[in-house]
Chain A
């Protein structure tokens, strides 16, 4: 026969003091607020998007038209969805190497003073309002960028990517991508630098004692260690690129047709820019709802990108541990 001692009630019934209680509730409330806002946005967009999608059918996502005055009015945002992705990819291709090099320089190569100044500059760059970047790009970046694109077309025109038949090099996805890249660089750089700074010194020591060069140390030690965090930083930047409105509005010529790959041909798409450029001149409430539905799909797209990023980060983290 075993003697059982009664189980104790741990911590229950213990009264937290009033200060703690108020603090706990405030924090819990704040935490839930973010969830409620997120849910609110989803429900609002979903409710507006539902009827539009029902009326327009799947062609809303696969067609390329904008006919608010037709009978019935017809809309298709395929060009915009694809355009948003294309811009993001261009921005990614330009900004990731630049950010990586900049972060490596700041963390491993620059003298401490220079590194500090650079860190502050990069943070400052992240704080520039996008409308300023857009205006700057419109007046300062676009003229020389036209010449770069002409050169690209002249020497690499045999690559389909750099074809241009119209001779018009303004308002191209390339310029839009460059502007987005400028906005991504500070985000990606600052996160990458933060991650690289955490490379354990004992691993760097080990690599040094094995006769590493800067390049091999980065390739085999620092980058594998920081992979998850760096991917996370890139995805955060990508989220900004997908959703950016105003800066792109200044430099991209919005066309509804899909511009599949001719990145230096005038005209491209972007959901966010579509919304901001059409919102002021809508023909009735239905078109507003169509814009909101477009927003819904932009929201979905960023959600998917973030989910993929989380998956990648989780996977690399698992491999490490």
Chain B
């Protein structure tokens, strides 16, 4: 797996910088277990997300990665029957404390979903600003905000002349970048991405990956992906999830992406990252 590290360096991933940043922890999960009704989905997940880094969550389908990511911004609790044990710390505070407003958490910790989901009844501009309307958040100078977030999402040049066109006119890849701009417009510190490229073609995927690298200079990103190469290309840290049949998922191994892919300690990790199962 020597090539992997080399590949990362070629992609411009600064491994040393990533390690240096790891001094400050933005978010962490402490002993997190998750249930839907009586079914246990996740078992005792402990994980730290250092500030301004990208963490990839990998593992076969049904091992609880998506469920885990949804506990990080309290979307999990909106599903009937959902339950949780343990703590999710954001800036050192448990986000599930009684006096915490979930709306504040969801604004600070944005999310991008698997399928591009712009609001079809709104324009491109309307979609970017929709978070302000939906949450009642006030931010000055909407024009500048639209330009800045669309630029960050790598979409500004393509849409700047048709901001009032319906969002449905855009291609799938453009829609996904629009959705990223929408998430950025409420100024989050963390961005959760649940397989953001799984519905996109390779060229669009590449654009999104560039966007992720660019965004990670300012915010912390946690991304679920089934694409091993993508995890190598975009992430500083990787966590490998696994679930035996009808058992809750757990974290087999986590650490620097270079370690997980280059020198895994667990045989199952080695097998998975080399495509021998899953």
Enumerate chain A interface residues (CB-CB to B < 8 A). Answer: 112, 200, 202-203, 205-213, 216-217, 220-221, 224-225, 319-321
Q: A200-B117, A209-B106, A221-B134 are in contact. List 19 more A-B contacts (CB 8 A).
A: A202-B115, A203-B117, A203-B120, A205-B113, A206-B119, A206-B182, A207-B130, A207-B134, A209-B113, A210-B135, A211-B103, A211-B104, A211-B134, A212-B103, A216-B136, A220-B130, A220-B134, A225-B120, A225-B121
B183 CB–A CB distance under 8 Å: yes
Residues of A near B62 (CB, < 8 A) are: none
Residues of A near B120 (CB, < 8 A) are: 203, 225, 320
Residues of B near A220 (CB, < 8 A) are: 119, 122, 130, 133-134
Most B C-beta atoms less than 10 A away, residue of A209, A319, A320:
A209
| Cβ of B23 to closest chain A Cβ, rounded Å | 29
| Cβ of B213 to closest chain A Cβ, rounded Å | 22
Contacting A at CB under 8 A, from B103-144, are 103-104, 106-107, 110-111, 113, 115, 117-122, 130-131, 133-137
Question: Are B133's CB and A216's CB within 8 A?
Answer: yes
In the complex the two chains form, what is the Cα distance from A264 to B29 in whole Å? 64
Question: Are A206's CB and B179's CB within 8 A?
Answer: yes
Contact with A along B155-198 (1 / 0, CB 8 A): 00000000000001000000000010011001000000000000
Enumerate chain B interface residues (CB-CB to A < 8 A). Answer: 73, 75, 78, 80, 103-104, 106-107, 110-111, 113, 115, 117-122, 130-131, 133-137, 168, 179, 182-183, 186
| Cβ of B74 to closest chain A Cβ, rounded Å | 9
| Cβ of A212 to closest chain B Cβ, rounded Å | 4
- Our count of residue pairs bridging A and B at CB distance below 8 angstroms stands at 76
Question: Are B121's CB and A210's CB within 8 A?
Answer: no
Question: Are A209's CB and B115's CB within 8 A?
Answer: no
Question: Are B106's CB and A203's CB within 8 A?
Answer: no
| Cβ of A110 to closest chain B Cβ, rounded Å | 11
Residues of B near A202 (CB, < 8 A) are: 113, 115, 117
Question: Are A211's CB and B121's CB within 8 A?
Answer: no
Residues of B near A224 (CB, < 8 A) are: 119, 121-122
| Cβ of B72 to closest chain A Cβ, rounded Å | 11
| A217-B134 in contact given A112-B80, A210-B182, A321-B168 (Cβ < 8 Å) | yes
A sample of 19 cross-chain residue pairs with beta-carbon separation below 8 angstroms, ordered by A number, consists of: A202-B113, A203-B119, A205-B113, A206-B118, A208-B75, A209-B113, A209-B183, A210-B106, A210-B182, A211-B104, A211-B106, A211-B137, A212-B103, A213-B103, A216-B136, A217-B134, A220-B133, A221-B134, A224-B119
